[in-house]
A = this chain, B = another copy of it.
Amino acid sequence: MQFTAKQIAEFIGGRVEGNEQATVSTFAKIEEATEGAITFLSNPKYTSYIYNTKASIVLVNDDLKLEHPVDSTLIRVPNAYECVAKLMQMYAATLPKKTGIDPLAFVSKTAEIGKDVYVGPFTYIGEGVKIGDGTRIFPNVTIYDGCQIGKNVTIHAGAVIGADGFGFAPNTEGYEKIPQLGTVIIEDDVEIGANTCVDRSTMGETIIHKGVKLDNLIQVAHNCEIGENTVMSAQVGMAGSTKIGAWCMVGGQAGFSGHIKIADKTFVGAQSGVISNTKGNGEQLIGAPAVNPKMYFKARALDAKLPEMYRQIAQLQREIDELKKKLL
């Protein structure tokens, strides 16, 4: 499959700068591209690469200003990142898709599997599980009894859906298990990363709403709820019964205490520890315990000045003592 700069520009509505007949057959990162590859420039951090890239075509933003001419043919578009994503989606749609239930998977007789579903080898689908149309479940996934998975969901290898929530009641000799009688509901268009865990609820359901994207190695505890189109980076942890709103963004390794409510469009920085309810939509939180970014960065900057502040206080005390002596 080969395309010319002219064809691509027409398809994505861009403007060619250079050789309209430049031809590409693959995608590459700007710093690694070779002849025959199309790449893109979006993050300003990478601007310097455009002068040396061997890519035949580079998608760039309309407003990119060059310091001197470049060898590659450019296609100028309003948003280079969006356009390369569009081209990649187009290309990906032409690739063969895995479908069907692999004979090496285990699917309970009482499970209901939709159309055009892929279930990979060594994936376990428990009793009464429902899987919607077009959902893809990679190898070595475990879905415990009774969980419901929507349409066009992607679950990556090693994920565990519906293991027991972590509930124990202490007695004098040890802990007694609190049975986890609920399930997990994963709605349409969700993506679950590799080795991520979503626990079943004690009663009722743990719910991952439509369009949520969870990266790898995330922990979603029992009775949690994640609102539509919220995205979470790898290794985030949510304690029990916490509810996160829609369209939130959560950085990697962040943690949430149990039994709190996070409003829509909340932005949580990486490694933050969120321990209480947000006050309204659109808050930005960072640090542990999490505060607003302005306060966080001020405090962190003054961290570096603490030794100076400590010395200054002692110095002020000495100067005051001097003054006192003089005034006696």
Question: Residues of A at under 8 Å CB distance from B?
Answer: 27-29, 32, 39, 43, 45, 81-82, 85, 88-89, 91-92, 102, 104, 106, 120-122, 124, 138-142, 144, 154, 156-158, 160, 163-164, 166-170, 173-179, 181, 189, 191, 193-195, 197, 199, 201-204, 210-211, 213, 215-217, 219, 221, 223, 228-229, 231, 233-235, 237, 239, 252-253, 255, 257, 259, 270-271, 273, 288-289, 291, 295, 298-300, 302-307, 309-310, 312-313, 316-317, 319-320, 323-324, 326-327
Contact = CB atoms under 8 A, between A and B. Distances in A.
Nearest to A168: B213
Nearest to A302: B306
B309 A304 contact: no
Contacts of A89: 176-179
Contacts of A306: 298-299, 302-303
Nearest to A288: B271
A259 to B, nearest CB: 6
Given A176-B89, A181-B91, A288-B271, A253 B237 contact: yes
A84 to B, nearest CB: 8
A107 to B, nearest CB: 10
Given A82-B169, A88-B178, A217-B217, A323 B327 contact: yes
